[in-house]
A and B are shown apart, each in its own frame.
Chain A
């Protein structure tokens, strides 16, 4: 028996003016390339959950030429995100027409299972842990069911927990490999469409598992750069300090996502700097606390916003750069927000900046709220869930003002001159520490 696992990921823009602008903006293009080149950790986990006597083939969508005949498998597993889900459905339809049963999974499928089932013989909801072994067993007996629900808790406890099959990446030209240390995030931001939607509570992997995975992941590339596929790595500071002590001897350079509270803990910051961490991505969302009232139920980000600048300086002074993320078009944002973000970015010394538009991913609380308020521009817009295309009516400006402002801010922020200024700032920080 041979199972083909096909990963679909990447970054894209639908609005033509933004797409045109995107190809000329160096930092935007750089991050896009990074995201597009990340392997699918979910499918490597599926592979690890597959019985040893089954042959597993890992493919990425770039490997599948639409002009060529389909590579034949007994069963096909496809994982994708909202923005590419229609392409995933198209590929699933082709495979099914060719006689190969298809299983769909991933975050979008978990939130929209009925839609996905129109293009699949079965769907896997939540993660593959607790679901995939049963699915394979049923398939072998000719009794595959349409829905399999993976675990929403205790995901990192054996026997449900397995090491992802990083060996399947050997020989591929990855410049980054990914390892997950946790699922979920207690902040529970309204817009978030990440792993918190498929977990019942924040879950953290035991450090010994994480370290074993990192060793396996970095062994498949010559010059590994590690990206932790977490929503928020340093929620638990005690766990964080222990993890940093454990990763330091590995000599790996790495990146992760967390929140601004990482700056509260000096010991953790010092360990972070020594550990090989090169950059942390932090969702700042908006420079002004008055715009952050509805972002998370506990108003945590709002309570922290007045210390953003101080925290960024504290982190970057250790030589760890911050990639600051902003969401444009939050309720309460007016056309003034674009100038405000530009000024904040310049003042902050952030090495990298991620600018996105508020995006109601299907199934999220934001989606349900905007739907109930009649503010969604289309009923079905999944291919526009790119983080760069506007899909709703903002409250403080028109759709056109948001689109125009976003393009202006892109041009102001991602141009060569500003990029060089941010690079110079980082060089000076590093020099001060030598």
Chain B
């Protein structure tokens, strides 16, 4: 899956998880800030991404995946390593 496809799927997953359109959010935007997520909503969002892409974020870095770019990069790397 290329990064464009990952980004598209990610946007769709996040839209469903947050139950609202992501709108003009760009790759570098802080999702927690832009979507005004509380701490539990942030965790639920990571759970949705893990399930959708069959990945697992490192426990000690859970707070780091706050932009689309970081999520896309992690998913892309994880999928390459899985091949």
Selected from A223, A251, A278, A424, the residue in CB contact (under 8 A) with B40 is A278
CB-defined contacts of B80 to chain A, threshold 8 Å: none
* A417 B40 Cβ-Cβ under 8 A: no
Question: Knowing A416-B60, A420-B59 touch, does A321 contact B50 (C-beta < 8 A)?
Answer: no
Interface string of A245-283 (1 = CB under 8 A from B): 000000101000000000000000000000000110000
* A434 B48 Cβ-Cβ under 8 A: yes
Per the bound structure, the CA–CA distance linking A253 and B36 in Å amounts to 12
* B50 A426 Cβ-Cβ under 8 A: no
Question: Knowing A420-B59, A420-B62 touch, does A427 contact B38 (C-beta < 8 A)?
Answer: no
Interface string of B50-69 (1 = CB under 8 A from A): 11000000011010000000
Selected from B36, B50, B51, B62, the residue in CB contact (under 8 A) with A423 is B62
* A351 B40 Cβ-Cβ under 8 A: yes
Selected from B36, B38, B44, the residue in CB contact (under 8 A) with A222 is B36
B32 → chain A closest CB, angstroms: 11
B26 contacts the other chain (Cβ, under 8 Å)?
no
CB-defined contacts of A417 to chain B, threshold 8 Å: 60
Question: Knowing A278-B41, A416-B60 touch, does A427 contact B19 (C-beta < 8 A)?
Answer: no
Per the bound structure, the CA–CA distance linking A175 and B44 in Å amounts to 18
Report the count of interface residues on A (CB-CB < 8 A). 24
Per the bound structure, the CA–CA distance linking A199 and B51 in Å amounts to 48
Report the count of interface residues on B (CB-CB < 8 A). 16
CB-defined contacts of B62 to chain A, threshold 8 Å: 420, 423-424, 427
Q: Nearest chain-A residue to B36 (Cβ)?
A: A223
Selected from A223, A416, A426, the residue in CB contact (under 8 A) with B43 is A426
Selected from A223, A253, A321, A434, the residue in CB contact (under 8 A) with B47 is A434
* B44 A430 Cβ-Cβ under 8 A: yes
Per the bound structure, the CA–CA distance linking A253 and B39 in Å amounts to 12
* B38 A430 Cβ-Cβ under 8 A: no
Question: Knowing A223-B36, A225-B38, A253-B38 touch, does A427 contact B60 (C-beta < 8 A)?
Answer: no
* B46 A427 Cβ-Cβ under 8 A: yes
* B39 A427 Cβ-Cβ under 8 A: no
CB-defined contacts of B60 to chain A, threshold 8 Å: 416-417, 420
Per the bound structure, the CA–CA distance linking A431 and B60 in Å amounts to 18
Q: Nearest chain-A residue to B60 (Cβ)?
A: A420
* B40 A426 Cβ-Cβ under 8 A: yes
A157 contacts the other chain (Cβ, under 8 Å)?
no
A421 contacts the other chain (Cβ, under 8 Å)?
yes
B82 → chain A closest CB, angstroms: 18
CB-defined contacts of A421 to chain B, threshold 8 Å: 59
Question: Knowing A251-B19, A420-B59, A420-B62 touch, does A321 contact B40 (C-beta < 8 A)?
Answer: yes
CB-defined contacts of B50 to chain A, threshold 8 Å: 427, 431
Q: Nearest chain-A residue to B35 (Cβ)?
A: A223
* A423 B43 Cβ-Cβ under 8 A: yes
A30 contacts the other chain (Cβ, under 8 Å)?
yes
Per the bound structure, the CA–CA distance linking A30 and B43 in Å amounts to 15
Interface string of A1-40 (1 = CB under 8 A from B): 0000000000000000000000000000010000000000
Q: Nearest chain-A residue to B61 (Cβ)?
A: A420
Selected from A222, A251, A253, A351, the residue in CB contact (under 8 A) with B41 is A253
B19 → chain A closest CB, angstroms: 7
* B19 A30 Cβ-Cβ under 8 A: no
Per the bound structure, the CA–CA distance linking A424 and B51 in Å amounts to 13
* A175 B36 Cβ-Cβ under 8 A: yes
User: Which residues of chain A from 349 to 396 have any CB-CB distance to chain B below 8 Å in the complex?
Assistant: 351
Per the bound structure, the CA–CA distance linking A427 and B62 in Å amounts to 10
Per the bound structure, the CA–CA distance linking A225 and B42 in Å amounts to 14
Per the bound structure, the CA–CA distance linking A319 and B38 in Å amounts to 15
CB-defined contacts of B36 to chain A, threshold 8 Å: 175, 222-223
CB-defined contacts of A416 to chain B, threshold 8 Å: 60
* A430 B19 Cβ-Cβ under 8 A: no
* B41 A30 Cβ-Cβ under 8 A: no
30 residue pairs A–B, Cβ–Cβ below 8 Å = A175-B38, A222-B36, A223-B36, A225-B38, A251-B19, A278-B38, A278-B40, A278-B41, A279-B40, A321-B40, A416-B60, A417-B60, A420-B59, A420-B60, A424-B62, A426-B43, A426-B47, A427-B43, A427-B47, A427-B50, A427-B62, A428-B47, A430-B43, A430-B44, A430-B47, A431-B47, A431-B50, A431-B51, A434-B47, A434-B48
In order of increasing CB-CB distance, the 10 nearest A-B pairs are A223-B36, A430-B47, A427-B47, A420-B59, A278-B40, A424-B59, A431-B47, A431-B51, A434-B51, A430-B44
B residues neighboring A (CB under 8 Å): 19, 36, 38-41, 43-44, 46-48, 50-51, 59-60, 62
